[in-house]
Structure 1
Amino acid sequence: MRRRIAVLVTATTVLVVVAFLIPLALLARTVAFDRAINTATVQAQSLTAVVSTADPQVLGLSVQQANADGRFPVTVFRSDGTRLGAPARRTPAVRLAERGRSLTVDTRDGAEVVVSVGDAAGGQAVIRTEVSERELMRGVHRAWLLLAGLGVALCALSLFVADRMARGLVRQTSELAEVSHRLAGGELDARAGVAAPREMREVGTALNHLAGRIRELLAEERERSADLSHRLRTPLMSLRLDAEALSDPAESQRITGHVETLQRAVTRIIDEAERRSSTTTGEVALRCDAASVVAERVAFWSVLAEDTERELRTVLAEGPLWVAISEADLGACADALLGNVFAHTEDGVGMAVSLAPGDDVVRLVVDDDGPGFPASDTGPLSRGASGSGSTGLGLDIARRAATDSGGGVRLDRAPGGGARVIVELGRAA
Structure 2
Amino acid sequence: MKRRMINSLLGVVLVVVVVFCVPLALVEKRTIVNAARDRVDATAVRVLDLVEGRIGAKEPVNSRSFESQVTGGSYVEVQLPGLDVVSAGERPAGDHLLKAVERGSSSGVIVTVEQSREDVDHEIANMLLLLGVVALLAVQAAVALAVWQAKRLARPLTDLAEIAERLGSGDPRPRDRRYGVPELDRVAEVLDTSAERIARMLTAERRLAADASHQLRTPLTALSMRLEEITALAEDPETVREEATIALQQVERLTDVVQRLLTTQRDPRSPTAVAFDLDDVIKQQVEEWGPTLRERGRVLSLEGLRGITAVGTPGTVAQVLATLIENSLMHGAGTITVRVRPSGTSAVVEVQDQGPGVPADLGNRVFERAVSGRNSTGIGLAVARDLAEADGGRLELLSLRPPVFALFLGRSHED
Scaled by the length of structure 2, the TM-score of the pair is 0.40
- Structure (1 or 2) with the larger CA radius of gyration: 2
TM value normalised by structure 1:
0.39
